[in-house]
Structure 1
Amino acid sequence: METLSSIECFVRTAESGSFSEAARRLGLTSAAVGKSVAKLEHSVGVRLFVRTTRKLTLTEAGERFLAEVGTSLSTITAAVDNLASSAGQPAGTLRVSMGTTFGLTYVVPLLDEFLQRYPAIRPDWHLSDRTVDLVAEKFDAAIGGGFQLDPGVIARELAPAHRMLVAAPGYLEKHAKIEKPADLASHPGIFVRSPQTGRVRNLPLLDANAEQAPLLLKPEITMSEPDAVCRLARAGLGIALAPVTHALPYLDAGTLVRVLPQWYADAGTLSIYFPARTLLPSKTRVFVDFIVDAFRAKKWAERFDARPRP
């Protein structure tokens, strides 16, 4: 009977289309993955891949085998993870993706408390503003907004992903008072580029009655990192449409103030995402519950909500 590791090497290679990418996901060398797959082929007496210098393609038998074992492997892996516990505690490596500044500001400070509860879990957290493929890249969870909810992925909503207009107090002192959305037309705008599309999202402004107004800021500066727009606004370079999560520390410090506080932009929801499995690993389950509880206890959903209060 072939080992589980050999079957996992086959599945990851089939998913990624290369030994090198499968090796990266598994933490092995390309040679080790190739040997493991070759051993599996020798054991079953069937070729699973057609190999060329440029391409790795599943054979008909390989496609059939992948369809039969792919889902089962996830269930078995989860079951093994749940067994690999210390004194009944969830254990194992926990791969999580989240935005850089958001993670450093809100999630990383929670790690000490999380590890005190679950000392057998080993965090492997990836702080990056790119959108990851949870299933293909073998992440246990991701926190963010704007993820495409692909088949096999579940989302638990954490808070609204609103944006607000902010500027430095000194900038506003030098310019005429901004009283309505139309007044923004003469001001330089600082925007965040979408990591999914590479473009600035054309979000309208909304008021308490859900009435819309076009955002007329001149797009003078575009950044790929949300915290950068707050820093540039703090430097007095214009008015930024910033995610509330990133603007709050600057508002609390008084280095930025809100512009047109009766208006905001809705960019969707901030959620925690995780693969849908028949048997969810206990390390993932407790992490998801921990994050949901932390958001509730700290009332972050209310703080991240930019809608004007009555």
Structure 2
Amino acid sequence: METLANLECFVRSAETGSFSAAARRLALTPAAVSRNVAMLEGNLGQRLFHRSTRKLTLTEAGERFLVALRSPLDGVQSAIAGVASEQGEPAGVLKLSVALSFGVEHILPLLPAFLARYPAVQPDWQFDNRQVDLVAEGFDVAIGGGIELAPGVVSRALAPAHIIAVASPAFMAGRARVADPAALAGLDGIVMRSPRTGRVRQWMMRNAAGIEMPAVLDEKIVVSDPAAMCRAAQLGLGVALVAVPDALALLESGALVRLAPKWYADAGSISLYYASRSLVPGKTRAFIDFVIDAFRRERLAQRFAGLIG
């Protein structure tokens, strides 16, 4: 009879296309995963993967075996998780990916209360402005926007990702009031270059009536992080188009003011991403529920909205 370890190593390797990626998810070494899969193939008398130096691909037998195995395996893991959850608190390493400025400003402050409630959970958090492969890189949870939904991943929207125009009071002193995006033309712009595409993002802004208008700035300063954009704007270096969460504290303190206040660009949603298996580890479920409750309690969806009036 096959061991659960052999079967899970096969399924995770098939999902990620890599023994190394499966090993990260299972907290094993790549050699151990490869050995378990080879043992499974030997016991079955069938080759389940085509192996190359770059990627694993399923054989025809492997595809059939994956389809037949996935639901029963998830059922077994769910039963194990149900018993385990009755015996103790959520525990283990919680691997999270979140953008630097958003994570430091809005997610990291949740950590003291979360750890007070779940002291056996160990955070392993990566603050990075890149899009991660949740499954292949072994993350339990990711928070951000625009992450491609790979097979086996679901998203829960937390708040809107609205882009607004901001500047310092000193920069705007003596300048005409900016009522709409057209009035941004000619102003010094602080823009961000995408680390993924290398391009500067252009924004189309809208108002409550649904009228759209491009926001065009003179590109005077180019940076790679929204926190740097806000800091440069605070220093009076120009106008920045940033997501509301990145500028919220500075707007509330008066260090920045909003321009064209009835206009915003819609960049989608800030979402929480996790693997959609029937087995969601207790540590992951606890964190998901904690974050959703915090966003609801602090009314962050409403505070992050760019629409006024």
Q: Is the TM-score greater than 0.5?
A: yes
Structure 2 SS opposite 1:84: helix
- Residue in structure 1 matched with residue 32 of structure 2 by the alignment: 32
Q: Deviation per CA, 1:255-300, whole angstroms, max 9, x where unpaired?
A: 3222222222221222223333345444333322211111111121
Kindly tell me: are residues 255 and 128 of structure 1, through their superposed partners in 2, closer, same or farther at Cα, counting changes over 3 Å?
A: same
In 1: Cα distance, 2:72 partner to 2:237 partner: 55
- Residue in structure 2 matched with residue 286 of structure 1 by the alignment: 286
- Residue in structure 2 matched with residue 4 of structure 1 by the alignment: 4
Kindly tell me: are residues 52 and 267 of structure 1, through their superposed partners in 2, closer, same or farther at Cα, counting changes over 3 Å?
A: closer
In 2: Cα distance, 1:208 partner to 1:47 partner: 59
In 2: Cα distance, 1:2 partner to 1:231 partner: 57
Structure 1 SS opposite 2:178: coil
Q: Deviation per CA, 1:75-126, whole angstroms, max 9, x where unpaired?
A: 4444434433474433343333221221111111111211222233333333
In 2: Cα distance, 1:77 partner to 1:233 partner: 51
The Cα shift of 1:135 comes to 3.9
Question: Given that residues 82 and 90 in structure 1 are in contact (C-alpha distance below 8 angstroms), is that contact kept between their aligned partners in structure 2?
Answer: no
In 2: Cα distance, 1:199 partner to 1:23 partner: 34
- Residue in structure 1 matched with residue 274 of structure 2 by the alignment: 274
Q: How many residues align?
A: 309
- Residue in structure 2 matched with residue 121 of structure 1 by the alignment: 121
Kindly tell me: are residues 105 and 86 of structure 1, through their superposed partners in 2, closer, same or farther at Cα, counting changes over 3 Å?
A: farther
Normalised by the size of structure 1, how large is the TM-score?
Answer: 0.86
Structural mapping, 1:4-23, within 5 Å: 4-23=4-23
Deviates more, 1:262-271 or 1:70-79: 70-79
Kindly tell me: are residues 18 and 165 of structure 1, through their superposed partners in 2, closer, same or farther at Cα, counting changes over 3 Å?
A: same
Structure 2 SS opposite 1:186: coil
Kindly tell me: are residues 136 and 179 of structure 1, through their superposed partners in 2, closer, same or farther at Cα, counting changes over 3 Å?
A: same
In 1: Cα distance, 2:278 partner to 2:53 partner: 38
Question: Given that residues 181 and 260 in structure 2 are in contact (C-alpha distance below 8 angstroms), is that contact kept between their aligned partners in structure 1?
Answer: yes
Give the superposed CA RMSD.
2.8
In 1: Cα distance, 2:54 partner to 2:214 partner: 50
Kindly tell me: are residues 126 and 114 of structure 1, through their superposed partners in 2, closer, same or farther at Cα, counting changes over 3 Å?
A: same
Structural mapping, 1:57-206, within 5 Å: 57-85=57-85, 87-149=87-149, 152-173=152-173, 175-194=175-194, 197-206=197-206
Letter in 2 for 1:306: G
Question: Given that residues 22 and 136 in structure 2 are in contact (C-alpha distance below 8 angstroms), is that contact kept between their aligned partners in structure 1?
Answer: no
Kindly tell me: are residues 12 and 198 of structure 1, through their superposed partners in 2, closer, same or farther at Cα, counting changes over 3 Å?
A: farther
Kindly tell me: are residues 52 and 230 of structure 1, through their superposed partners in 2, closer, same or farther at Cα, counting changes over 3 Å?
A: closer
In 2: Cα distance, 1:251 partner to 1:120 partner: 37
Kindly tell me: are residues 215 and 113 of structure 1, through their superposed partners in 2, closer, same or farther at Cα, counting changes over 3 Å?
A: same
The Cα shift of 1:151 comes to 5.3
Kindly tell me: are residues 79 and 202 of structure 1, through their superposed partners in 2, closer, same or farther at Cα, counting changes over 3 Å?
A: farther
Q: Deviation per CA, 1:22-68, whole angstroms, max 9, x where unpaired?
A: 33343333322222222222232322234455654433322222222
Q: Deviation per CA, 1:171-215, whole angstroms, max 9, x where unpaired?
A: 222644434432211112223345665544432222232322221
Segments of 5+ residues of structure 2 without an aligned counterpart are: none
Question: Given that residues 135 and 275 in structure 2 are in contact (C-alpha distance below 8 angstroms), is that contact kept between their aligned partners in structure 1?
Answer: yes
The Cα shift of 1:243 comes to 0.7
Normalised by the size of structure 2, how large is the TM-score?
Answer: 0.86
Question: Given that residues 84 and 91 in structure 1 are in contact (C-alpha distance below 8 angstroms), is that contact kept between their aligned partners in structure 2?
Answer: no
Q: Identity rate of aligned residues, in percent? A: 52
Kindly tell me: are residues 178 and 51 of structure 1, through their superposed partners in 2, closer, same or farther at Cα, counting changes over 3 Å?
A: closer
Structure 2 SS opposite 1:204: strand
Structure 1 SS opposite 2:301: helix
Q: Does 1:48 align with 2:37?
A: no
Segments of 5+ residues of structure 1 without an aligned counterpart are: none
Letter in 2 for 1:34: S
Q: Deviation per CA, 1:3-30, whole angstroms, max 9, x where unpaired?
A: 2222222223333333333333433333
